Amino acid sequence: MLTILVLLTVSPLFIGIINRVKSVCAGRQGPGLLQPYFDYLRLFRKSQVVSPATSFIFQLAPTISWTTVFFAGLLIPFGPRPAVISFPGDFILLAYVLAFGRFFALLSAMDTGSSFEGMGASREVTFATLVEPAFFILFSTITFLSGFRSLSDVFAALHQNDSWTLIVISLSVLILFLMMLVEGSRLPIDDPNTHLELTMIHEVMVLDNSGPDLGLILYGTAMKLAAIGLLIANLLVPPGFDMPFLMVLFLGILFVLAVAIGILESSMARLRMVHVPQFVLVMTSIGLLILSFVFFSIGGHR
Amino acid sequence: MNWKITKNNKPIGIADIPRGNVQQLRNALINQCRQGKRVVSFFGHPDRKGMVLFAVLTDDQNSRLLVACADLGAERAYPSITPEVPALHLFEREIFEQFGIEPQGHPWLKPVRYPFRRFDPSQNIGNYPFFRIEGEDIHEVGVGPIHAGIIEPGHFRFQCRGEKIHHLEIQLGYQHRGVEELFVGPINPGEPRFKPHLAERIAGDSAVAHATAYAQIMESLARIEVSRRAQAIRAIALELERIAVHVGDLGAISNDIAHLLGSAVFGAIRTAVINTSLSLCGSRFGQGLIRPGGVLYDLDDELKERMKRTLNKVLEDVIRMSESMLATSSVLSRLEKTGIVTKQQALDIGLVGPVARASGVAMDTRADHPFGNYRYFPIHKITMPGGDVFARTFMRYVEIKQSVNFILEQLEHFSREGSLSDPVENLMAEGFCVSMVEGWRGEIAHVVLTDIQGNPVRYKIKDPSFNNWLGLAIAVRNNGISDFPLCNKSFNLSYSGHDL
């Protein structure tokens, strides 16, 4: 329950922090931290324009995308507090709920019939295909290591105080951080600030959306970023902390992640499009590394 | 066939230009181009007896211009020169569009800039014959004429296979305003004799360069020389324009590859530079400064000192930012080997300016055909091998340093003797004059023909964009479509300069 509350309330602030860090690094004053809240509010108050070339899918898709992220939030535990929905193998549902949302976003992009949006959809699906194996390899590894199959149990059981676990956790955090950049369409994969249609991935798919639909899409992306951030926090925070301090720890980790993304975005240029698959495949290779490591060295759960 | 030898800003009589038939001109032109001459201008002008084709070539090694013309009489066609000299392709298309004179055998005879062909209105912008590649994996992406951001209108059509561009066709003409025709005259009583305001608006980012070319051509026709003081101010303004746009381009290139620091810092530096133009003449883009006969604004000691301080600061900041940015591996990975134009391609299609120099072609009007104060303070031509986006970016950085040092030298030697502006009178009757200026984008060439009263009857403008748009189309071939905006920024061509 706490996860979904944090996602709903804190995720726009997460984007706000990234933007603020970027502006400070560039020597600008930058927008206020709460600007994303005002942006989403403004979009929700607007009316929307719908292209006559589109079908009902175009209007349905933003709601579905947002709902899938919301549902994903129900599957993510908050430290020792189990997720709202928790059952063995729930991480598979987590992956495919998000994939379902993406599927509708892709359909909606194709629905507009614009060559830009088709191009964006093609890019998005290419990179998503490459992210999926990384996600499954990672979660198979940690379920294998912990011996449990639902996310809530996995995270609780993972924290054995030995060096093996530490190595596995730190590599997993690295994978999830890279996944955050890909899923949240951040640098160096995608440039959330660009106006150049030809270079966009995620942004170009929503060029035709406006008003509340656009608000939902942006809100959903922010929530997705924060959701992966919470997965990282779950990996990092060992059990045994209680409520006020647990909250501080989780929010602190989210803050650090936002600052890290902000600094990363300020310090490098975007990847060339043909190099993006290589970047994404790095996640899969690290995942395979952990898997083989766990499999051969530790030999499964203890 | 003979050629009349002249120089930059040296008027000649129309009657002195050797005249032959088209076949002779064609052979002579092909012959000269094989010997390394370049085409500056090639245009048609109808006189009493019929169409006359004028050709202006440049001999960069000897700082000479070669002029000749051919009587077409009543003929409406001639064998195209483009297959032999590809750099002429757009000039021939232009003549066909304006007068219906067909270059037979032209490989790419398409509209240039008019909404419809003057001699065949059925050929219009709506049924532009785009090149198309057919095939299962081929898809077509059309961008524009309305773009995101503050960009002029123009249509780009990509033939792609997946992410790779096979062919880009650029269709322009949306900015056509009839500038060349507006320079003709005065036709009506009360119309001003000189139109520097118009020249400043040929291409808004090259206001100083075009105004200089216009002023020089009028002064040459009046056979006067403006004071060294006015020449120095013109040179300073021209270099300020170059610095401002180059710095802005570096910022735009950083922005395109999402390098935030570069984008922010170069944006801030650009403001300092254009504000220097503002304090010189009241316009950040240098409008209203240059008039035939001289300049309108003086450079006093206080401004001189301020300019020195600002430019030293600009130089320091540009060096620090560029050195750090161009040493970042993620930046280099985007810039290097992207959008390559080889030296041979650059020579074949007649690229000019920093874009050509970045492909290793040594040409700079300031050095090859010095004008104004560049006759006394020579500019060193800089070239780079490579021809990729990195070379074009680095060329800008180097040119900024060169221009800042040039202005500092000008300020050092600046003297307030001599008048700011001299009267321009008694324009040469039935004269012909070419004025070339190295704008920040490259070689700007204005050509004028005057009537018996010395008023222009034909004013031909060639903005460097006219040469370089094809270079962009060549550069993006076999590159990713997502690298197109970056290639485009590295050329930064003018739509209105092309469309006139």
The reply to whether residue A199 touches residue B482, judged by beta carbons under 8 angstroms, is: yes
Give A267's contacts in chain B (Cβ within 8 Å).
261
Cross-strand pairs, B54: B43, B69
A197 close contact with B: CB closer than 8 A = yes
For A198, which of B143, B149, B254 is closest by C-beta distance? B143
Q: Is the residue at B85 inside a domain?
A: yes
Q: Which of B299, B298, B295 is nearest to B424 (CA)?
A: B295
Share of chain A above pLDDT 90, in %: 55
Mean pLDDT of B28-33: 92
Give B268's contacts in chain A (Cβ within 8 Å).
27
Where residue B410 sits, what CATH number does that domain have? 1.10.645.10
- Could you read off the pLDDT of A86-101 as tens digits, one per residue? 999 899 999 999 999 9
- Measured distance CA(B179)–CA(B500) in Å, rounded: 5
Q: Is the pLDDT of residue B157 over 90?
A: yes
Share of chain B above pLDDT 90, in %: 73
B387 and B274 co-located in one domain:
yes
Query: Do B321 and B262 touch, CB atoms closer than 8 A?
Result: yes
What does the pLDDT read at residue A41? 96
What does the pLDDT read at residue A299? 63
Nearest Cα of chain A lies from the Cα of B11 at a distance, in angstroms, of 46
- Could you read off the pLDDT of B399-458 as tens digits, one per residue? 999 999 999 999 999 988 888 898 888 889 899 999 999 999 999 999 999 988 888 999
- Could you read off the pLDDT of B51-63 as tens digits, one per residue? 899 999 999 999 9
- Could you read off the pLDDT of B334-346 as tens digits, one per residue? 999 999 999 999 9
A159 close contact with B: CB closer than 8 A = no
- Measured distance CA(B87)–CA(B81) in Å, rounded: 9
CA angle B390, B395, B398 (to 5 degrees): 125
The total of structural domains in chain B comes to: 2
Lowest mean pLDDT among B36-40, B108-112, B306-310: B108-112
The average confidence (pLDDT) of chain A is: 90
Q: Is the residue at B366 inside a domain?
A: yes
Give B390's contacts in chain A (Cβ within 8 Å).
none
The average confidence (pLDDT) of chain B is: 91
Query: Do B295 and B372 touch, CB atoms closer than 8 A?
Result: no
For A196, which of B331, B338, B485 is closest by C-beta distance? B485
Domain boundary among B90, B112, B134: B112
Which residues in B196-212 are b (16+ Cβ under 10 Å) and which e? Answer: bebbbbbbebbbbbbbb
Q: Is the residue at B163 inside a domain?
A: no
Q: Is the pLDDT of residue A75 over 90?
A: yes
| Chain A, window 43-102: residues with a beta carbon less than 8 angstroms from a chain B beta carbon | none
Nearest Cα of chain B lies from the Cα of A229 at a distance, in angstroms, of 23
- Supply A87's token pair: 């059952």
Nearest Cα of chain A lies from the Cα of B347 at a distance, in angstroms, of 29
What does the pLDDT read at residue B42? 93
What does the pLDDT read at residue B314? 96
B100 and B203 co-located in one domain:
no
Domain boundary among B64, B79, B112: B112
What does the pLDDT read at residue B474? 94
What does the pLDDT read at residue A109? 93
Nearest Cα of chain A lies from the Cα of B416 at a distance, in angstroms, of 40
The reply to whether residue A269 touches residue B334, judged by beta carbons under 8 angstroms, is: yes
What does the pLDDT read at residue B417? 86
* Per-residue pLDDT band at B43 (split at 50, 70, 90): very high
Could you tell me the end-to-end alpha-carbon distance of chain B, in angstroms, rounded to an integer? 32
Place of tokens 């001109």: B25
Instruction: Pick B67 or A197 by higher pLDDT.
Output: B67
Domain boundary among B56, B85, B112: B112
The reply to whether residue A115 touches residue B139, judged by beta carbons under 8 angstroms, is: yes
Mean pLDDT of A72-77: 94
Query: Do A179 and A127 touch, CB atoms closer than 8 A?
Result: no
B457 and B366 co-located in one domain:
yes
State which residues form the domain around B288.
Answer: 179-499
- Supply A108's token pair: 């909606």
What does the pLDDT read at residue A161? 64
Q: Is the pLDDT of residue B125 over 80?
A: no
* Per-residue pLDDT band at A17 (split at 50, 70, 90): very high
Q: Is the residue at B90 inside a domain?
A: yes
Q: Is the residue at B406 inside a domain?
A: yes
| 3-state SS assignment for residue B340 | coil
The reply to whether residue B259 touches residue A268, judged by beta carbons under 8 angstroms, is: yes
The reply to whether residue A269 touches residue B265, judged by beta carbons under 8 angstroms, is: no
Mean pLDDT of B227-236: 93
Mean pLDDT of B153-162: 91
- Measured distance CA(B11)–CA(B395) in Å, rounded: 34
Q: Is the pLDDT of residue B73 over 60?
A: yes
Lowest mean pLDDT among A147-161, A283-297, B92-106: A147-161
For B333, which of A119, A193, A272 is closest by C-beta distance? A272
Instruction: Pick B311 or A154 by higher pLDDT.
Output: B311
Mean pLDDT of B126-150: 86
For residue B353, the number of C-alpha atoms closer than 13 Å in the C-beta half-sphere is 29
Where residue B60 sits, what CATH number does that domain have? 3.30.460.80
What does the pLDDT read at residue B350? 92
B94 and B215 co-located in one domain:
no
For B257, which of A26, A270, A275 is closest by C-beta distance? A270
Q: Is the residue at B329 inside a domain?
A: yes
Q: What is the pTM of this model?
A: 0.92
Q: Is the pLDDT of residue A171 over 70?
A: yes
